[in-house]
A and B are shown apart, each in its own frame.
Chain A
Amino acid sequence: MPTLIDCSDLKKTFITGETETHALKNATCTINQGEFVAIMGPSGSGKSTLMHLLSFLEKPSGGTYLFEGEDITTFDEERISELRNQSIGFVFQAFNLLPRLSVWDNAELPLLYDFYTKLSRSNKKKRVTDALKSVGLSHREEYQTQYLSGGEKQRVAIARALVNDPKIIFADEPTGNLDSKSGLDVMRILQKLHEDGRTIIMVTHENATAQHAERILRLKDGIIIKDEKVENRLIAKDIKELK
């Protein structure tokens, strides 16, 4: 499989007044297309920072980051916006839905900022319909998201992440705010998307959740200390409850 992400010595330093916090030090990794990677580590290990760098939400303080062979540190804001819109989908721990909008309107959001593919309105409509169908929310299209359960909200967020047909889906603690049943549903969907060929990169601090991935990057004190293949991988559709 071709390499999607290739980063070496990636660094992120936050400066608050005179205090420098090295959230990420020398992270080096390669992620290929079609992989399902979990990023794990204790609180403060830099796992979220790594994900924000990989998903173009923040700029690294040092090191190199090649995305599909291109050095993204040289990209201007316009190009970064295009990458965010076209290449990635993001699933947040707190869902980050716009509460007064309908399920449909929330799922449609990335398409509103798609100035690149020149999709027709009917094609855009089909994209939203298909995305909601794939997460099992076709019957909730007109609902305002504030009235949905946590599991349903996260499924809307996944539909929103899918709607622009991105190369990678980033999931930041996707089951963190959910009960075990809803968490399992989310993992089922993510595994299904992976089966369909998507690249999934997921941050979690729960071992059980990480076991659904194929590979785990373990971080400690801002450094990737272990890059391991998952033995005895959990398949969400075969289990009844997320442990």
Chain B
Amino acid sequence: MTDADMTDADKADEEAGDRLAGGAAERWAARLLELLGGAALVALAVLTVSDALLRSFANRPIRGANDMIQVLLVLVVAAAIPLCIHAGRAIAIDIITRRLPHGARRIVARLVNLICALVLALLAWRCAVNAREAALFGETTMLLQIPFGPFYWCLAVSFVVSALLFAVLTLCPGR
């Protein structure tokens, strides 16, 4: 859609992302994630369509397409989760906190951000542990035997970035 077609809701949405993105590094990281996630997304779409068409019209399905789709999906998800959090799009319920006095609301918000940072850090750590173990235990896709280890790493990095976003909000709640 063109800029003219963009509603206020969209613009507010984009700005929300930018408000969080104080530093240039943060903006740069977001663009990088969009680029990587976008590439994986396009690859996912192209692979799905070509597998279906080749199977139906040329009788030549792509060998191991499902395996590749599985790992491409991990890449898409790994990019998507921090981007969603960065844009403030993670679904949350503010019906109660909205009614709190300003001071209390700030304290609760800090606590919430801290909880989110901690659980995401925990998740990142476990994914990293798992990444190292995946090779040890021969975890791969079934047909092409693509090793899962590197993709566990991608998820680990994704959760680290997500945890950092909440950590920043905990430390500098004004941003």
Indicate, yes or no, whether A interacts with B. no
What residues of chain A have their CB less than 8 Å away from a CB belonging to chain B? none
What residues of chain B have their CB less than 8 Å away from a CB belonging to chain A? none
